[in-house]
Amino acid sequence: MKSMAKEDGGFEGDFAIFFQEWLEGRLAYGRWTDHVAAWMGRERERGRGRNARVLVVRYEDLKADLTGELKRIARHCGIDVGGRIGEKGEEVLEAVREKCSFEYMATNRRVYEPRSVIWRDRSFRFMRKGAVGDYRQLFTEDQCVCFAEAVREAQRKSGQAGACLMRELLGGEEWERGRKEGEERA
């Protein structure tokens, strides 16, 4: 949002202020934890647990095993990569994998950049480094702890389904680190 033009909802100020306002839901798109909780929707209200129509796909998992994640996404969508596509299944999967790689998207960045956003600086690149865990270059240790606390609070509000979803979103290692840091602070 810092790179977005002010008239298009962009934020002006340093990251520490942005982080606090983002965490409290005072920015254009609201609170992240509320956004995530909305994914659970009516299914949770009906007592069915986490919304089965939502598939959590983490960037970290895509980077670690893009082909495996593409197969998981296909299964979630009811597509049998092997049988339904037939003998060409692996060929099709490889073509999709290539187009979904960070390298391909970075090379063809204009295709993937939002066109509805006005950027402050025309040289701004929507596609960043493609590195897992790069947020650590931006977040302070206190911000990591504050974020983990916000996630725990969202979990308390949404119950077991929320805990499962947040664990999926953050991944095992990040989830455990945030949980331990929160316990140490308490």
d(CA 77, CA 178): 32
**137/100 Cα distance (integer angstroms):** 25
- The pLDDT of residue 69 is 92
Return d(Cα 3, Cα 126) in angstroms, integer.
Answer: 9
pTM greater than the 0.85 cutoff: no
| DSSP assignment letter at 4 | B
As a whole number of angstroms, the distance between CA 130 and CA 22 comes to: 23
CA separation for the pair 132, 125 (Å, rounded):
18
In the prediction, which pLDDT does 124 show? 67
pLDDT beneath 70: ranges in the chain: 1-10, 40-51, 82-87, 116-125, 158-186
Which pLDDT score, from 0 to 100, does residue 70 have? 92
CA 126 to chain centre: 15
Rounded distance between C-alpha atoms, residue 150 and residue 33, angstroms? 7
For residue 163, what pLDDT is reported?
59
